[in-house]
Amino acid sequence: MALTTYVEAIRQGIWEEMEKDERVFVLGEDVGIYGGAFKVTAGMLEKFGEWRIIDTPISESAIVGAAIGAALMGMRPIAEMQFADFISCAFDQITNFAAKCRYRWGAGVPIVIRGPSGGGVHGGPFHSQNPEMHYVHTPGLKVVCPATAYDAKGLIKAAIRDPDPVIYFEHKFLYRRVKEELPSEDFVVPIGKAAVRRQGSDISVITYGAMLYLALDAAKELEKEGIDLEVVDLRSLLPFDKETVLESVKKTNKVILLHEDTRIGGFAGELAAIIADEAFEYLDGPVRRITAPDTPVPYSPPLEDFFLPKVSDIVRVARELYAY
């Protein structure tokens, strides 16, 4: 069976949902004739036509606003942000309109806002960001960050079917670098469920997105010296799978919180607080964070390499924690 890339998995997920449900449509910049800057919507214009794959003006706020309006009328829009960085232009529509409709007046806004986030491709400050926490801090939204092709497909389908607004961050570094065999039958990955990617007994590494692969590489390296990492892939940040995180921490008694996003106000801080609140008695060492530093994402390779967390960071911190 052929291997499916992460980017193809997203494309398949959207395609299948559009075939199944005529309320589903895509709007965004260059999604039509060009097939999207990363080709997520390649071939869809030909298949579904210009009223379901809609090329829009460069107007992120209006893209999201129009998605909201269409969703209120019963449609299931998927709004593409050409880069997740550009989602800031639509911040107001997302956080003030979409996120609050159900709470204020009982109207669901079943939209998906998706776009490529993350660094590692020397995209510089405006094509590399991880903006998830702005939305994780907004009640009413759901936020997912798939790391595998299976999850990319399963989560986009879950997001499209979800009755509430879902922000779907796809990691551009993974688009063509990760691939796997996917089941031929229909499947979804439930929003809010983590996956334990590696069972281990010494230290839990809680992570999401592209950092998953660094954690797995570090685990392989540490295995040689007898340090056994457990790796938890959150997959969803809002809601997130607290039970799986706490279960893992209670098992290993030591935890590293790893993300590509910057440090202050990053998801690791929230996890650390929850672990301190609810699993303090189980801890045999300090809760450690590995994150990007609090700077914009720099462009030049030496700068960006410095910025991004590395396998060696995980190995070093794990050794320190192991020695506790």
Whether the bond into 239 is cis, omega within 30 of 0: yes
In this structure, the strands spanning 229-233 and 195-198 are: antiparallel
Q: Is residue 122 flagged as an active site residue?
A: no
Which CB sits closer to another protein, 52 or 250?
52
Instruction: Give how far Cα 307 sits from Cα of 49, 156, 233, 244, Å.
Output: 42, 29, 22, 29
Rg over CA atoms, the chain: 19
Of the ranges 33-41, 96-104, 214-222, 286-294, which one interacts with another protein (CB under 8 A)?
96-104
Q: Smallest distance from the beta carbon of 24 to another protein, in angstroms?
A: 11
Of the candidates 93, 107, 106, 169, which has an alpha carbon nearest to the alpha carbon of residue 138?
93
In angstroms, the CA 245 to CA 242 distance is 5
CB atoms within 10 A of CB 79: 32
Residue window 249-288: x/- pattern of binding to another protein, with contact defined by CB under 8 A: ----------------------------------------
The answer to whether residue 320 forms part of the interface with another protein (CB under 8 A) is no
Size of the residue set binding another protein (CB under 8 A): 41
Q: Smallest distance from the beta carbon of 94 to another protein, in angstroms?
A: 11
Could you say which residues in the range 25-64 bind another protein, by CB under 8 A? 25, 51-52, 54, 56-57, 59, 61-64
* Interior angle at CA 63, CA 9 and CA 26, nearest 5: 35
210 in Cβ contact with 177 (< 8 Å) = no
Q: Smallest distance from the beta carbon of 265 to another protein, in angstroms?
A: 21
Query: Would you say the C-alpha torsion 35, 36, 37, 38 has a positive or negative sign?
Result: negative
Which CB sits closer to another protein, 51 or 280?
51
Q: Smallest distance from the beta carbon of 105 to another protein, in angstroms?
A: 5
The answer to whether residue 188 forms part of the interface with another protein (CB under 8 A) is no
* Residue from 3, 21, 47, 107 in contact with another protein (CB under 8 A): 107
Residue positions annotated with a catalytic role = 127
The residues binding another protein (CB under 8 A) are 25, 51-52, 54, 56-57, 59, 61-75, 77, 92-93, 96-97, 100, 102-108, 139-140, 142, 162-164
